[in-house]
Amino acid sequence: MANDVAALTAELTDMAAADHRSAVHANSDDPAEQLAWRRLTARHGDRLNEIMEEYGWPTADLVGEEAARAAWLVAQHADRQLDVQRRALQLMRQAVSEGSAGPRELAFLHDRTLVNEGGKQIYGTQIAGVKDGAPVPWPCEDPERVDELRADVGIEPFDAYVAQFSVA
């Protein structure tokens, strides 16, 4: 079992490293680069689904902080695999309620899943793009309460967050 968990830890961190290297291609003008990004995230999503089947949500207690964050990143980028995102969201929600995963990452995944389903986000974590140098967030369910909801899960205020995406 220890060898299995060590291999899983290494696999998850390798997946995140590959994700980081390839993320620049997500919004590339080159269709071949976009396709490579989609294929990578689909492979990772498929593998995360297998991992969740075998282990449940890969918590920091199981695989360490870095690999647990890697699992979250893979789920976050499984945009074309809503079944994987929904399953990750459900398992992560359970892990947060048990104190073995963080509410901040759960909030990001919750918003990402809602946006991918065509809904409005709760925490204002998802940016649709940048127009005229200004970030354009996806619509929020309750914009008046977004900073309160963000504070509850340890996310900086909306304006400070959105400012990171501004292009001068």
Tokens of 48: 């995360």
Q: Has residue 168 been placed in a domain?
A: no
Q: What is the pLDDT of residue 104?
A: 97
Residue 64's Cβ-side half-sphere holds a number of Cα atoms within 13 Å equal to 12
Same domain, 77 and 159: no
Spell out where the chain has E strands. Answer: 127-131, 134-137
Assess if residue 121 is contained within a domain.
Answer: no
The owner of tokens 């354009």 is 136
39 lies in the same domain as 13? yes
Residues 158 and 95 in one domain: no
Residues 143 and 103 in one domain: no
Section 117-138 average pLDDT: 91
- Beta-bridge mates of residue 136: 129
pLDDT surpassing 70 at residue 1 = no
Q: Model-level pTM?
A: 0.92
Distance of CA 27 to the CA centre of its chain: 17
64 lies in a domain? yes
Tell me how crowded residue 11 is: count the other CB atoms within 10 A of its CB.
Answer: 16
Q: Encode pLDDT of 58-71 as tens digits.
A: 999 999 999 999 99
Q: Tens digits of per-residue pLDDT, 52-109?
A: 999 999 999 999 999 999 999 999 999 999 999 999 999 999 999 999 999 999 999 9
Domain span holding position 138: 127-163
Average pLDDT over residues 103-132: 95
Q: Is the pLDDT of residue 33 over 80?
A: yes
Q: What's the rounded mean pLDDT across residues 1-23?
A: 91
Q: Are residues 43 and 86 in the same domain?
A: yes
pLDDT range class, residue 168, cuts 50, 70, 90: low
27 plus 6 within the same structural domain: yes
Segment 141-167, tens digit of pLDDT: 999 999 999 999 999 999 999 888 876
- The answer to whether residues 80 and 50 belong to one domain is yes
